Amino acid sequence: MGVGTLISLSEYLRTSFDPDRDFVDGEVLERNVGKTKHSYTQGKTIAWFDRRLDELRLQPMPELRMQVHSSRVRVPDVALSELPIPDQDVFTSPPYLCIEVMSPDDTAGTLQDRLDDYLNFGVPNIWVIDPWKRRGWRITPEGWLPATDGIMRTADGRVAMPLADVLLP
């Protein structure tokens, strides 16, 4: 199925895509993935949280489908679930943290639509990491808050991840 193909939610949920795709109002949308800096940052972020699983009690889940609305399923680069992990194939409740790793092909509008879906779904912590510009932001309903000191933090202070730990040297 190409971009622009309209299908039902149930058909989308029964279908596997490689790489996985978002579902927005009946349309299957490709995600920008597959470049070295994106992949490196995503993998290192997952490893960073894996090493701290006992301390933080947050399980990193790469490319997890989340039904953020009755007609929308988003696939964040990394979602962090509180333990124990909910027994669901597709998350229908917000995870603790969603992380998006930017790609050069991302547009501001498309990325903001995705972030708005996370905010409307009730995700309490949302991060965007740009591995090309070596920058990161915490996303809130009020806007993008830059990690000016190079540390990605959650709103409640539970997590503080140095960007240098997950970016390609």
pLDDT at 1 over 70: no
Closest by Cα among 122, 160, 128, 121 to 144: 128
Under the banding of pLDDT at 50, 70 and 90, the label for residue 67 is: very high
Residue 151: predicted pLDDT:
98
Please identify, in words, the CATH class of the domain defined by 32-165.
alpha beta
Is 116 in contact with 143 (CB distance < 8 Å)?
no
User: Whole-angstrom Cα distance, residue 102 to residue 118?
Assistant: 16
104-116 core/surface letters (b: 16 or more CB in 10 A; e: else)? eebeeeebeebbe
Is 133 in contact with 149 (CB distance < 8 Å)?
no
Under the banding of pLDDT at 50, 70 and 90, the label for residue 6 is: confident
**pLDDT higher for 18 or 87?**
87
Under the banding of pLDDT at 50, 70 and 90, the label for residue 5 is: low
**Which are the contacts of 91, defined by CB distance < 8 A and separation ≥ 6?**
64, 65, 66, 67, 79, 81
Residue 21: predicted pLDDT:
87
DSSP annotation of 163 reads G
Q: Indicate the domain borders of the chain.
A: 32-165
Is 56 in contact with 83 (CB distance < 8 Å)?
no
- Mean pLDDT over residues 126-140, rounded? 97
User: Whole-angstrom Cα distance, residue 144 to residue 128?
Assistant: 9
Residue 32: predicted pLDDT:
73
**Which are the contacts of 109, defined by CB distance < 8 A and separation ≥ 6?**
none
Tokens 């596997």 appear where?
Answer: 16
Tokens coding 90: 């597709």
- Mean pLDDT over residues 43-72, rounded? 97
- Mean pLDDT over residues 32-52, rounded? 93
**pLDDT higher for 26 or 74?**
74
Q: pLDDT by residue (tens digit) across 82-108?
A: 999 999 999 999 999 999 999 998 889
* Chain mean pLDDT for the chain: 93
Cis bond leading into 19, ω under 30°? yes
